[in-house]
Structure 1
Amino acid sequence: MKLTIPQGDFDAYLFDCDGTIVDSMPLHYVAWHKMLAEYNCPFPEEQFYAYGGLPVETILEMLNEQHGLSMPVKQVAHEKELYYQGLVHTIDGIPMTIDHIHDKHGKIPFAVVSGSPRKSVVDSLEALGLLDKFEVLVCAGEYSKGKPHPEPFLKAAELLGVDPKRCLVFEDAQPGIDAAEAAGMQWVRVPLPKERLAAAEAAR
């Protein structure tokens, strides 16, 4: 299964991390399930994927409001990330994205634009030996408005010194795609794990 890249030339590639470069979403869901179970907070898998790209603290605030809970947002977010970091050594990359990283590395600059904390992003990329491929990382806590607001992508373009209209975004979740469109950037969607699995089974 390959990604279809929009026609034209681009001056930079901007990548979401989890679910786009790193096949980490299932592990993140394990970490979420572990932490939220302590507060009897439901978080169906479909909802988890729909919230892809949102900062962890934002998701917790939304869940508190939805379920009338008062989970300590910063504490739970911290514990969730610690639990994920204990799993990160088991992650795999997403080949259809990594192919484009290797193909364009050294030809145009790259940035990662993520709703995860910087340590989580660094640990994930280091686990795959990809950290040195990226000139810029823009992570949770480093912008005032997260996806679907365009700010994170616009900040990455500014740090790279590239016109936003000349950037191509790789994303797996709708909030990130909405953010890319709002930033005036073209985008390519990376299929979700179940979609990649279905395509692989169909190709057998």
Structure 2
Amino acid sequence: MSQRRIRAVLLDMDGLTLDTESICYDAYLRAGRKFGFQVNGRLHMDLGGRTEPEIVAELKRLFGDDKDVRRWRSYINHQKGVILRERGRAGKKPGLLELLCYLGEMGIPYALASSTEREKIHELLATEYLVHAFPVIVSGDMVAHGKPDPEIFQVAAARLGVDPAETLVLEDARAGIEAARAGGFQSAFVLDDVSKRGAIGDGYPILADLPSPQDVGPLADFTPHDLEEAIAIIKQANS
């Protein structure tokens, strides 16, 4: 079976377009030390791509209803702002500008589809002067269901006027890849490896056996190393 053409591209933001997942993970590490709960890459991947209410619900599932996870999450969100101010910018992921330039040159429509709230998206994009780089942005507060539900990608595809089967979703989170598959999109998983940032093995344990981030790759159609490598995938599909 020949590869389907790619007539449009949808990009996640956190950890895929911008280097914000390292900020998020560091915030989790700070919270884990303060409140005494375990933090590792498996937890981070499990929570990635979800909306705020879904993250709180998942933290309750993973650590127990008796834990004050809303307080944890409030502290995490505060620390994300602190860390962003400490760094001064979010940081672009490797290959982003090359990919956006290629899509523009080839006239391939693209959109940002992120579970983050729209106001926060604009704040983060502004640190990299990218507010106007995405003609279409669909945020988590614009949909009723977060990833792994495909709604956010379906809305973005409808805004672009494209068929999901001919649309490539670029993601760094399991929930995003699962959402793409559920919606009939083509998908590419770019691993955002936070393992070198450390982990916390002591404290309240994670009550579920979570899969490894490396297990997400086989769920996707493609596994480019970075966004620039996605250009070759698009070229091959359209040749």
- Tell me the TM-score range normalised by the shorter chain: 0.7 to 0.9
* Partner in structure 2 of residue 128 of structure 1: 128
Gaps in structure 2 of 5+ consecutive residues: 196-224, 226-239
1:46 lines up with 2:42 in the alignment: yes
Larger radius of gyration: 2
Q: Which of the residues 25, 41, 60 maps onto 2:21?
A: 25
Structure 2 residue matching 1:133: 3-state secondary structure = coil
Output the TM-score relative to the length of structure 2.
0.69
Q: Which residue of 2 aligns with 1:191?
A: 191
Q: Deviations over 1:89-131 (max 9, x none)?
A: 3332122343211111261222111122223322222222222
Number of residue pairs aligned between Structure 1 and Structure 2: 191
Amino acid in structure 2 at the alignment position of 1:100: L
The answer for the alignment partner of 1:108 in structure 2 is 108
Structure 2 CA distance for aligned equivalents of residues 57 and 19 of structure 1: 20
Match runs of 1:39-188 below 5 Å: 39-68=35-64, 69-72=67-70, 75=74, 79=78, 82-83=81-82, 85-87=84-86, 89-105=88-104, 107-188=107-188
Aligned Cα root-mean-square deviation (Å): 2.7
Whether the aligned pair in 2 keeps the contact of 1:110 and 1:133 (CA below 8 Å) is no
Judged with a 3 Å threshold, the aligned counterparts in structure 2 of structure 1 residues 180 and 33 are, in CA distance, closer, same or farther, namely: same
Classify 1:59/1:50 alpha carbon distance in 2 versus 1 (closer, same or farther; 3 Å). same
Query: Which amino acid in the other structure matches residue 54 of structure 1?
Result: R
Query: Residue 171 and residue 37 in structure 1: after superposition, are their counterparts in 2 closer, same or farther (change >3 A)?
Result: same
SS of the residue corresponding to residue 170 of structure 1 reads strand
- Calculate the TM-score normalised by the size of structure 1: 0.79
Identity %: 27
Gaps of 5+ in 1: 1-5, 200-204
Aligned equivalents of 1:31, 1:147: Cα separation in 2: 22
